[in-house]
């Protein structure tokens, strides 16, 4: 009895306890649901370094003002984890100085980081680091959860104030330390030996040694990057590492690195040094971040060949498996010869059949070894050989910033075609070139005589590329001879000075002349004006795909002398200018500008720079202000050239801002010729100051 009562008691108590616990539990559940309705983005300060955060991938919110140079950033595209997360985000262009959310992903350490100037931030160089990170735009992804709170390396508050920073100190630079440079020849010799098991045709020993010869390197001060650095204060050479042996404070050590790599030979060659302790001796490495685990050497890439390269490979059914394998071997060989790396060339691959698909983008594999492994895994798509469609795809998608396009490096696309494409390539290639892509064609085993009838677009390779004496095309007789193209191709794609297919101030404009034919000019002076127009035109590269020229003459009335699509060679243009007949009449400059907008510039191609050069000798009868505003509003860059009785104030209204660069006054017609060089120079200076693709 007593037992029963006891047991009952116990079960009542037990039940009570269970109820109590569940009650608490469900209360907790509810609290959780209320408390955590959605993902909150953790915030950090500008000075927080990626290395302090343990999470391999996270979304974080940066405050405004992280562009400040006191938040040091090391590297370009791939940043050493010793960098300010938010500073790197500004440098990479994902954020601007007003802050915002970013996605940070940790990646492997590199054997060197190259500084660069980008988006208002000067990043610094660092020889070697145990961990890196990249910055991506924070896009909400389905099924991926990010931490709402970050895990920090030490118990130290993440909100370290600037100045108070880190216990880090820097090793002094020891000028006496001997560092063995590894030459390109040695580097390539090693990789060639690794490859000797390959069953595919390889270059003969003599060719192999030819392949090993390094491309000429710039002599002296950073010739590769002079345009970036020549005008800045870096030239002063302040704080060169060797001159400051005893630097202790991180901030001043950072300053020592502010000298761009390209301007300093010893730093510029750093990536060629043997990895190991010698490298660390050469730089300033905060002690706390020193890693004992040794990293495999990863190349930074050949700094003399900084290009963003897209390979378009033919995966059509007709190519067959054996040839497809040769094609892959070719890609691997090219990747190796190029020496892929974040400070040199980057390479992605698109395979096309019926449709194109990106195998990997520019930023997927950033060294030749990883590329080799990835190329190995590519499987053939099959289908037709729609190269034109693939080129359009590359123009639209491949060279976007999110896919790793670096902006400063020329865009190059190499199209491999087995036989001939099954669609048209000319138009797609033209658009690619006009968007700044340097397009190369390699055709292998082209059509033989009785196959020519099947070719969709005869002479397609020559139509697709820039007409520069075969520089952009290769015709290979047999797949088994393809390997011989590796070196010539590498040489050409790295010859960045000759990559003329991308836009320049001379080849990318629709240039419209608006010529005053009023009575006050007179026949003789009108001839001089035409000479002037011809002399300006001569400076440009003229073709259907390069600069095009049009002309309007006006008095009270207006007439189209020739539109942009009328002539597409220089001799034809010069002839047409010569044939323009003097009209004689009044001077309605405002109406003429409107007419030019309508008749010339409305037919301008969207990716051309619209330039208007207006030449007048007197004050307009009508108001020029509204037409001029319309021109500026439509993106027509307007130069106003006034002669003799022209009104300076009117010229300044017509001209694009700043007027001093876009308006010119000449006292007499005979002095017009003096302004040709200056106008051309201003056109080019303005062009070069614009951001490039
Ligand atoms: C045009 O160029 C020719 C040849 O260089 C020169 O003699 C002439 O003076 C120039 N005229 C004008 C108006 O620019």
Nearest CA to ligand 1 atom 2: 535
CA of 570 to the centre of ligand 1 (A): 16
Q: How far is CA 95 from CA 99, 145, 205, in A?
A: 6, 22, 50
Q: What is the pLDDT of residue 620?
A: 96
Last residue of a domain, one of 258, 290, 322: 290
CA of 610 to the centre of ligand 1 (A): 25
- pLDDT tens digits, one per residue of 223-263: 333 333 333 333 333 333 333 333 333 333 333 333 333 33
Ligand 1 atom closest to residue 676's alpha carbon, by position in its atom list: 14
Report the percent of the chain where pLDDT is more than 90: 50
Judge whether 99 and 64 are in contact, CB under 8 Å.
yes
Q: Would you state the torsion angle of the CA atoms of residues 650, 652, 655, 659, taken in this order, to the nearest 10 degrees? A: 180
Q: What is the pLDDT of residue 199?
A: 34
Are 546 and 657 in the same domain? yes
Q: What is the pLDDT of residue 469?
A: 67
Nearest CA to ligand 1 atom 8: 673
Q: What is the DSSP letter of 665?
A: E
Q: What is the pLDDT of residue 159?
A: 41
Q: Give the number of domains in the chain.
A: 4
Q: How far is CA 604 from CA 515, 563, 638, in A?
A: 19, 9, 15
Tell me if 370 is assigned to some domain.
yes
- Does residue 206 surpass a pLDDT of 70? no
Q: What is the pLDDT of residue 649?
A: 95
In the predicted model, what is the mean pLDDT of the chain?
77
Q: What is the pLDDT of residue 265?
A: 31
Lowest mean pLDDT among 30-39, 330-339, 445-454: 30-39
Judge whether 384 and 422 are in contact, CB under 8 Å.
yes
**In the structure, what pLDDT confidence band is assigned to residue 567 with cuts at 50, 70 and 90?**
very high
Tell me if 619 is assigned to some domain.
yes
Tell me if 34 is assigned to some domain.
no
CA of 594 to the centre of ligand 1 (A): 29
Beta carbons within 8 Å of 605's beta carbon, 6+ residues apart: 434, 510
Judge whether 124 and 71 are in contact, CB under 8 Å.
no
Nearest CA to ligand 1 atom 3: 535
Ligand 1 atom closest to residue 528's alpha carbon, by position in its atom list: 13
Top mean pLDDT of 101-115, 281-295, 551-565 is at 551-565
Last residue of a domain, one of 460, 479, 498: 498
Nearest CA to ligand 1 atom 6: 673
Q: What is the pLDDT of residue 526?
A: 97
**In the structure, what pLDDT confidence band is assigned to residue 272 with cuts at 50, 70 and 90?**
very low
HSE toward the beta carbon, residue 454, CA cutoff 13 A? 11
Pocket of ligand 1 (CB under 6 A): 528, 531-532, 535, 672-673, 676
DSSP string, 158-226: S-PPTTT--S---PPP-TT----BPPHHHHHHHHHHHTTT--S----HHHHHHHHSPPPPPPSS-GGGH
Are 493 and 530 in the same domain? no
CA of 655 to the centre of ligand 1 (A): 24
Q: Strand pairing partners for 562? A: 551
Structure tokens at 484: 């011989």
The span from the CA of 474 to the CA of 493, in Å, is: 12
Q: What is the pLDDT of residue 602?
A: 96
CA of 628 to the centre of ligand 1 (A): 29
- Does residue 177 surpass a pLDDT of 90? no
- Does residue 118 surpass a pLDDT of 50? yes
Report the percent of the chain where pLDDT is more than 70: 71
Largest CA distance in the chain: 134
Tell me if 143 is assigned to some domain.
no
Ligand 1 atom closest to residue 673's alpha carbon, by position in its atom list: 14
Structure tokens at 418: 């087995």
- Does residue 509 surpass a pLDDT of 70? yes
Are 206 and 325 in the same domain? no
Judge whether 177 and 246 are in contact, CB under 8 Å.
no
Nearest CA to ligand 1 atom 11: 673
Q: What is the pLDDT of residue 178?
A: 36
The span from the CA of 367 to the CA of 340, in Å, is: 5
Are 426 and 360 in the same domain? yes
Are 402 and 470 in the same domain? yes
Ligand 1 atom closest to residue 529's alpha carbon, by position in its atom list: 13
Nearest CA to ligand 1 atom 12: 673
3-state secondary structure of 440: strand
CA of 361 to the centre of ligand 1 (A): 50
Tell me the average pLDDT across 277-294. Answer: 38
Whichever domain contains 493, its CATH number is 3.40.50.410
Nearest CA to ligand 1 atom 1: 535
- pLDDT tens digits, one per residue of 456-473: 888 888 888 876 668 899
Are 546 and 483 in the same domain? no
Tell me if 148 is assigned to some domain.
no
Q: What is the pLDDT of residue 410?
A: 83
Q: What is the pLDDT of residue 516?
A: 97
CA of 532 to the centre of ligand 1 (A): 7
CA of 511 to the centre of ligand 1 (A): 19
- Does residue 266 surpass a pLDDT of 80? no
Q: What is the pLDDT of residue 500?
A: 59
The span from the CA of 396 to the CA of 393, in Å, is: 5
Judge whether 50 and 66 are in contact, CB under 8 Å.
no
- Does residue 93 surpass a pLDDT of 70? yes
Q: How far is CA 360 from CA 311, 347, 417, 432, 517, in A?
A: 10, 9, 19, 19, 58
Are 607 and 647 in the same domain? yes
3-state secondary structure of 322: helix
Edge-to-edge, what's the strand order for the sheet holding 346-352?
Answer: 356-360, 346-352, 308-314, 411-418, 437-444, 473-476
Q: What is the pLDDT of residue 392?
A: 95
- Does residue 603 surpass a pLDDT of 90? yes
CA of 437 to the centre of ligand 1 (A): 35
**In the structure, what pLDDT confidence band is assigned to residue 122 with cuts at 50, 70 and 90?**
confident
- Does residue 628 surpass a pLDDT of 70? yes
CA of 687 to the centre of ligand 1 (A): 24
N- to C-terminal Cα separation, the chain: 92
Lowest mean pLDDT among 86-95, 188-197, 557-566: 188-197
Nearest CA to ligand 1 atom 7: 673
Nearest CA to ligand 1 atom 4: 535
Are 195 and 231 in the same domain? yes
The span from the CA of 521 to the CA of 643, in Å, is: 9
Are 518 and 645 in the same domain? yes
* Ramachandran area for residue 239 (φ above 0: left; ψ -120 to 50: alpha; else beta): left
Judge whether 494 and 305 are in contact, CB under 8 Å.
yes
Q: What is the pLDDT of residue 296?
A: 55
Tell me if 33 is assigned to some domain.
no
Tell me the average pLDDT across 348-361. Answer: 96
Global pTM value: 0.41
- Does residue 593 surpass a pLDDT of 90? yes
Tell me if 154 is assigned to some domain.
no
Are 599 and 623 in the same domain? yes
Are 283 and 314 in the same domain? no
CA of 644 to the centre of ligand 1 (A): 18
The long-range contacts involving 188-191, CB below 8 angstroms and separated by at least 24 positions, are 188/212, 188/336, 188/337, 191/336, 191/368
Judge whether 602 and 612 are in contact, CB under 8 Å.
no
Top mean pLDDT of 96-100, 149-153, 464-468, 500-504 is at 96-100
Tell me the average pLDDT across 198-207. Answer: 34
Q: Is 116 exposed, middle or buried (0-12, 13-18, 19+ CB in 10 A)?
A: buried
Q: What is the pLDDT of residue 145?
A: 78
CA of 673 to the centre of ligand 1 (A): 6
- pLDDT tens digits, one per residue of 639-654: 999 999 999 999 999 9
Residue carrying the six token digits 């951001």: 691
Ligand 1 atom closest to residue 534's alpha carbon, by position in its atom list: 1
- Does residue 264 surpass a pLDDT of 50? no
Are 254 and 326 in the same domain? no
DSSP string, 625-654: HHHHHHHHHTT-EEEEEEETT--HHHHHHH
Q: How far is CA 378 from CA 152, 333, 340, in A?
A: 39, 15, 19
Angle between helices 570-579 and 523-538 (to 10 degrees): 170
CA of 523 to the centre of ligand 1 (A): 17
**Ligand 1 site-directed mutation target among 524, 528, 535, most atoms within 8 Å of CB:** 535
Residue carrying the six token digits 């109590």: 20
Closest CA to 503 of 312, 631, 683: 683
Ligand 1 atom closest to residue 674's alpha carbon, by position in its atom list: 14
DSSP string, 555-601: SSSEEEEE-TTT--SHHHHHHHHHHPPP------HHHHHHHHHHHTG
Top mean pLDDT of 50-64, 160-174, 400-414 is at 50-64
Nearest CA to ligand 1 atom 14: 673
Nearest CA to ligand 1 atom 10: 673
CA of 576 to the centre of ligand 1 (A): 17
**C-alpha angle 543-544-548 in degrees, rounded to nearest 5:** 70
Tell me if 483 is assigned to some domain.
yes
Judge whether 112 and 272 are in contact, CB under 8 Å.
no
CA of 531 to the centre of ligand 1 (A): 6
Give buried/exposed letters for 437-462 (b at 16+ CB in 10 A, else e).
bbbbbbbbbbeeeeeeeeeebeebbe
Ligand 1 atom closest to residue 535's alpha carbon, by position in its atom list: 1
CA of 637 to the centre of ligand 1 (A): 24
Whichever domain contains 124, its CATH number is 2.170.130.20
Residue carrying the six token digits 């009044």: 586
The span from the CA of 564 to the CA of 81, in Å, is: 52
Residue carrying the six token digits 């189209």: 560
**Ligand 1 site-directed mutation target among 521, 530, 531, most atoms within 8 Å of CB:** 531
CA of 538 to the centre of ligand 1 (A): 11
**Ligand 1 site-directed mutation target among 617, 667, 673, most atoms within 8 Å of CB:** 673
Q: What is the pLDDT of residue 546?
A: 78
**In the structure, what pLDDT confidence band is assigned to residue 513 with cuts at 50, 70 and 90?**
very high
Structure tokens at 134: 């990249």
Tell me the average pLDDT across 76-85. Answer: 91
The span from the CA of 209 to the CA of 216, in Å, is: 15
Tell me the average pLDDT across 104-126. Answer: 84
Query: Looking at per-residue confidence, does 14 or 110 come out higher?
Result: 110
Last residue of a domain, one of 442, 473, 498: 498
Ligand 1 atom closest to residue 669's alpha carbon, by position in its atom list: 13
CA of 499 to the centre of ligand 1 (A): 31
Query: Looking at per-residue confidence, does 681 or 247 come out higher?
Result: 681
Q: What is the pLDDT of residue 276?
A: 36
Nearest CA to ligand 1 atom 5: 535
Tell me the average pLDDT across 205-228. Answer: 33
The span from the CA of 80 to the CA of 657, in Å, is: 42
The residue range of the domain holding 608 is 509-688
């Amino acid at each position: 009895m007593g037992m029963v009562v006891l047991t009952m008691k116990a079960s009542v108590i037990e039940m009570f306890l269970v109820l109590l616990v569940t009650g608490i539990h469900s209360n907790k559940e509810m609290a959780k649901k209320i408390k955590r309705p959605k993902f909150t983005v953790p915030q950090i300060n500008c000075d927080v370094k990626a290395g302090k955060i343990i999470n391999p991938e996270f979304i974080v919110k940066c405050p405004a003002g992280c562009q400040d140079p006191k938040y040091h950033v090391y590297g370009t595209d791939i940043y050493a984890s010793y960098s300010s997360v938010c500073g790197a985000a500004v440098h990479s262009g994902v954020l601007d100085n007003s802050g915002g959310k970013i996605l940070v992903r940790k990646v492997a350490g590199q054997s060197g980081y190259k500084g660069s100037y980008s988006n208002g931030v000067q990043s610094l160089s660092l020889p070697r680091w145990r961990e890196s990170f990249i910055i991506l735009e924070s896009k909400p992804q389905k099924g991926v959860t990010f931490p709402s709170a970050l895990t920090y390396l030490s118990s130290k508050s993440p909100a370290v104030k600037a100045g108070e920073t880190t216990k880090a100190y820097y090793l002094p630079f020891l000028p006496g330390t001997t560092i063995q440079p590894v030459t390109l020849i040695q580097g390539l010799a090693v990789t060639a030996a690794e490859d000797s098991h390959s069953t595919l045709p390889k270059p003969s020993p003599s060719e192999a040694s030819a392949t090993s010869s390094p491309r000429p390197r710039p002599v002296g001060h950073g010739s590769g990057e002079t345009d970036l650095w020549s005008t800045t204060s870096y030239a002063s050479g302040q704080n060169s590492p060797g001159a400051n042996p005893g630097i202790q404070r991180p901030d001043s050590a950072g300053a020592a690195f502010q000298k761009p790599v390209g301007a300093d030979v010893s730093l510029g060659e750093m990536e060629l040094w043997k990895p190991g302790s010698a490298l660390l001796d050469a730089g300033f490495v905060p002690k706390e971040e020193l890693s004992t685990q040794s990293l495999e050497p990863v190349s930074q890439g050949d700094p003399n060949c900084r290009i963003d390269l897209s390979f378009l490979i033919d995966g059509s059914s007709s190519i067959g498996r054996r040839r497809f394998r040769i094609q892959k071997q070719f890609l691997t060989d090219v990747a190796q010869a190029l020496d892929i790396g974040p400070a040199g060339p980057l390479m992605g691959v698109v395979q096309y059949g019926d449709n194109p698909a990106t195998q990997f983008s520019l930023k997927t594999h950033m060294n030749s070894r990883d590329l080799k492994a990835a190329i190995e895994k590519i499987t053939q798509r099959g289908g037709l050989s729609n190269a034109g469609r693939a080129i359009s795809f590359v123009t639209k998608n491949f060279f976007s910033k999110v896919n790793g396009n670096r902006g400063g490096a020329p865009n190059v696309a190499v199209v491999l075609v087995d036989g001939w494409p099954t669609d048209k390539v000319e138009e797609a290639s033209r658009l690619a070139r006009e968007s700044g892509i340097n397009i190369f064609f390699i055709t292998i085993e082209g059509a033989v005589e009785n196959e020519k009838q099947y070719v969709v677009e005869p002479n397609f390779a020559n139509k697709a590329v820039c007409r520069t004496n075969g520089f952009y095309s290769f015709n290979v007789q047999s797949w088994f001879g393809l390997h011989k193209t590796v070196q010539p191709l590498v040489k050409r794609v790295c010859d960045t000075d000759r990559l003329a297919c991308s836009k320049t101030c001379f080849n990318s404009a629709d240039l419209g002349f608006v010529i005053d034919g009023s009575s006050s000019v007179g026949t003789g002076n009108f001839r001089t004006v035409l000479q002037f127009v011809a002399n300006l035109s001569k400076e440009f590269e003229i073709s259907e795909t390069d600069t095009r020229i049009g002309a309007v003459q006006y008095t009270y009335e207006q007439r189209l002398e020739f539109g942009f699509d009328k002539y597409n060679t220089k001799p034809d243009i010069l002839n047409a200018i010569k044939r323009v007949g003097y009209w004689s009449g009044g001077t309605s400059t405002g109406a003429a500008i409107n007419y030019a907008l309508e008749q010339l510039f409305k037919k301008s191609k969207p990716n051309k720079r619209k330039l208007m050069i207006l030449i007048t000798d007197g004050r307009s009868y009508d108001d020029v202000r509204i037409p001029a505003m319309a021109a500026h509003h439509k993106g027509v860059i307007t130069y106003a050239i006034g002669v003799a009785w022209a009104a300076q104030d009117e010229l300044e209204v017509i001209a694009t801002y700043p007027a001093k660069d876009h308006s010119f006054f000449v006292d007499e017609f005979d002095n017009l010729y003096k302004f040709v060089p200056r106008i051309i120079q201003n056109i080019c200076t303005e062009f070069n100051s614009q951001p490039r693709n």
